[in-house]
Structure 1
Amino acid sequence: MTNTDISTTASTTPTGPAGLLLDRVVLVTGASRGIGEAAARLFAAEGARVVLAARQTDALDVIVADIRRDGGTADAVPLDLADPASIAGAIAAVDRLHGRLDGAFNNGAAIQTPGPLDETTDEDVDLQFAVNFRGHWRAMVAEAALMRRSGGGAIVNTSSIGSRRANPALPAYGAMKRALNSITETAAVTWAPQGIRVNGLTPGGTATRMIDEWEAASPGIRAQIDASIPLGRMAEPEEVAQAACWLLSDRASAVTGAIVPVDGGAGA
């Protein structure tokens, strides 16, 4: 798929009981793997018309095909959160596909090279700013503009437990995720009169490929994470996706400006 390709399908409604997100148009960024992939599959099962966005468009096409095979509605658009033009293009694609946006799960992220503060490079800091802060900021602004046309919507941003406390192993990542919490709260207050709810999630250790990559760079980190969680294990991506699904649904209609931990008690 090129940067201008958009995979489309006619809208269909999944069989089975009505779900939490029935007939909602929901964008999922970072949807090619991990929490984003789990969310896209769950939201579609809950009745949403999902638009999957990520840089790895080949992986998106596989997920889209699976969702369609199960009777859901899914489309894929390319998105590079470090590129403001790519963000604008992805939101424009959602508009062309569906003419509206009801929900957005901003889950895309970049991880830094693990290491102490005084060994973190300018390149790592720049990447964290571009993707984990500025990318989310620009995405939220574009999403909110499309949501206003149909009377509102809901946005959920994926932050991290590392935003809630000192993060000596991932200092730039933690700093930008803490900044993301701040703009999430600010957006919630700013856009509440327009019917747009904005919340965040702070997952703890989650069994994704990112953890695999961290384990490869820092052997033993997986065991350390498991030992730090009162439930005794990392969350599965589907468990984080369930929290996002609830926040995007009418079940959370009075919830905005919340930063919700999904961490097995690790942040308590």
Structure 2
Amino acid sequence: MPVVVIVGATSKWRADGPNTVFVHGRSLTAADVPDDVRWGLGGALARTFAQEGCFVVLTTRTAANAAPLVGSLQQDGGHCAAVELDLGDPDSIRRAFARIRDAAGDPEVLVYNPGYMAGRELPPEQELLELFPPELFETALDIACRGPFLVAREVLPAMRRRGRGTILFSNNQYSLRGRRRRTGESLYYPRTMMRALAQALTDEYTEHGVHVVNVVVDGVIDSPGTRAMPGAAGAPQALISPRSIADAFLYLHRQDPSCWTHELQLTARPHHQEVPSCP
């Protein structure tokens, strides 16, 4: 059974999580959110690959965060497990992948999907870069720069020896360009480094059968957190379906090696009412 590891499987889905309830939004309960978006993109990715017969490993900072998603997948007949992993701790990353290899085997697919809303918990008047505490920048580096490098190191040796493997980076529009819809977005520029890493790995590992893709989600993904953002409730058609994104990830994994995509941009359809950006 192919092993699929989803890093950041529960980064935004919790109705009471820090990325769902913050000063720019409103509180939600699970009952307010349909099943197909309740767990955001991480949950959609997990469900899509589980339905393909893969053993899905969900990594999360706290195992309890993933317990409802694991239960839902297992109830539907999927094979999955949750492993604790803290992207800010290199030892935690090593321990997590050692557990994955011991329990399930070497991953065939790695989906890197952690998100952060650095600075979004601050009031708007404090969202200028000059006012950010340095620890917010460290969070951005851990998730968008050091994290993908350290995680890729854990799976690439076995993929190279096997002669196949897929690494899919879930990125956003800030990896391509700066955009000022609001203050507080200057800390997203480390996303450009994730894109650069995907390009470097493509050059180094394509010949070894490893397919690396930078997936740019240019828009707001439907999830409990984004539904809590101002303006989202009035423009539901401007939100991107997480299941549709997950279908694109599965398509990339299935591509024939004779014609690989190395960067894909998924863009929300335009709407007259602007919705705040979200990683």
Q: Please name the residue that 1:36 is paired with.
A: 42
Match of 2:104 among 64, 88, 98: 98
The Cα RMSD (Å) is: 2.3
Q: Please name the residue that 1:263 is paired with.
A: 267
Structure 1 residues not aligned, in runs of 5+: 1-22
Q: Please name the residue that 2:91 is paired with.
A: 85
- 1:1-268 map, 5 Å: 23-32=1-10, 33=13, 34-114=40-120, 115-168=127-180, 169-203=183-217, 204-212=219-227, 215=229, 219-220=230-231, 222=232, 232-250=237-255, 254-258=259-263, 260-265=264-269
Q: 1:151 to 1:165 in 2, by over 3 A?
A: same
Is the contact between residue 29 and residue 52 of structure 1 (CA under 8 Å) also seen in structure 2?
yes
Q: 1:131 to 1:88 in 2, by over 3 A?
A: same
Question: How high is the sequence identity, in percent, across the aligned residues?
Answer: 25
TM-score normalized by the length of structure 2: 0.76
Distance 2:205 2:174 in 1: 26
TM-score normalized by the length of structure 1: 0.79
Distance 1:210 1:162 in 2: 19
- Give CA deviations for 1:194-230 in whole Å, capped at 9, x if unaligned: 11111011112112244256x2xxx44x379x59xxx
Distance 2:75 2:258 in 1: 31
> What SS does structure 2 have at the residue aligned with 1:108?
coil
Q: Which has the higher contact order (CA 8 A, sep 6+)?
A: 2
Q: 1:144 to 1:179 in 2, by over 3 A?
A: same
Q: CA deviation at 1:47?
A: 1.6
Is the contact between residue 221 and residue 241 of structure 2 (CA under 8 Å) also seen in structure 1?
yes
Q: CA deviation at 1:79?
A: 1.0
Task: Look up the equivalent residue of 1:202 and give its one-letter code.
Answer: V
> What SS does structure 2 have at the residue aligned with 1:201?
strand
Structure 2 residues not aligned, in runs of 5+: 14-39, 121-126, 271-279
Number of residue pairs matched by the alignment: 233
Distance 1:137 1:170 in 2: 25
Is the contact between residue 57 and residue 77 of structure 1 (CA under 8 Å) also seen in structure 2?
yes
